[in-house]
């Protein structure tokens, strides 16, 4: 049996990208070259080459993205976006500017940073909207209260002096009919009559039940 026959039967076939280097070790440069070659094929629309690139880089891409994005679910989304970018923009890879692995990781880092910035901007917009809503509600309530006071003041102004004084003392001062009569120096019956007439006019003016 020849040496070549012994090697072909007794040794497992080497995986692509693991060519033996000095001392029998796989050459890392060769692996990097193969990833670059695969990207060149991906740029031509080779789906098998893309599958190989995906298998080789998916774990590294996800690991890098998670260090930036933190959130596991979003990290997986961003990683998938990165790997889709690899398919779409493989033609932009230039081996003279750096390794294929570095190119893919650069895409991953940019995507991850973009996602973080996007989330931060969205959170800031939500805070601004929430603050605006609170501020709007406060202003609206203040305006409504002021308008209500103005309406009441205007309607009170339509009453006679005795009606206005009787209603004001009874409703805002909390006085009884007898106390109002004593304060105004008139009979209790007169106070009751003036208050009744005054309340009817207020109800009609305000358009509410009193």
Q: Which residue has the tokens 């961003």?
A: 78
* Three-state secondary-structure class, residue 130: helix
Taking Cα atoms as reference points, which of 118, 119, 93 lies closest to residue 105?
93
Q: What is the mean pLDDT of residues 143-154?
A: 68
Maximum mean pLDDT: which of 26-35, 117-126, 131-140: 117-126
Q: Indicate the CATH number for domain 28-126.
A: 1.10.1740.10
Q: Is the pLDDT of residue 18 over 50?
A: no
pLDDT of residue 66: 95
Only one residue has tokens 């009170």, namely: 156
The mean of the pLDDT values for the chain is 78
Q: What residue ranges do the domains of the chain occupy?
A: 28-126, 158-206
- The CA-atom distances, in angstroms, between 43 and each of 5, 22, 52, 53, 106 are 39, 32, 13, 12, 18
pTM comes to 0.49
Name the class of domain 158-206: mainly alpha
Which pLDDT tens digit goes with each residue over 69-115?
999 999 999 999 999 999 999 999 999 999 999 999 999 999 999 99
Q: Is 16 left (phi over 0), alpha (psi -120 to 50) or beta?
A: beta
- Identify the top-confidence range among 8-12, 18-22, 142-146: 142-146
């Amino acid at each position: 049996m020849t040496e070549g026959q012994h090697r072909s039967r007794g040794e497992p076939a080497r995986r692509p990208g693991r060519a033996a280097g000095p001392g029998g070790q796989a050459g890392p440069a060769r692996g990097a070259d193969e990833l670059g070659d695969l990207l060149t094929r991906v740029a031509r629309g080779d789906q098998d080459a893309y599958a190989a690139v995906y298998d080789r880089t998916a774990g590294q891409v996800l690991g890098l993205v998670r260090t930036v994005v933190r959130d596991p679910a979003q990290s997986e989304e961003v990683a998938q976006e990165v790997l889709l970018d690899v398919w779409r923009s493989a033609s932009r890879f230039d081996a003279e500017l750096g390794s294929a692995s570095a190119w893919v990781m650069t895409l991953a880092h940019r995507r991850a940073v973009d996602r973080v910035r996007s989330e931060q901007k969205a959170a800031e917009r939500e805070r601004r909207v929430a603050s605006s809503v609170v501020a709007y509600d406060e202003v609206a309530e203040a305006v409504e209260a002021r308008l209500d006071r103005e309406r009441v003041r205007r309607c009170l102004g339509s009453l006679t002096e005795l009606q206005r004084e009787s209603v004001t003392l009874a409703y805002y001062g909390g006085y009884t009919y007898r106390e109002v009569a004593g304060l105004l120096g008139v009979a209790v019956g007169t106070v009751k009559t003036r208050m009744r007439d005054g309340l009817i006019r207020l109800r009609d003016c305000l358009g509410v039940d009193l």
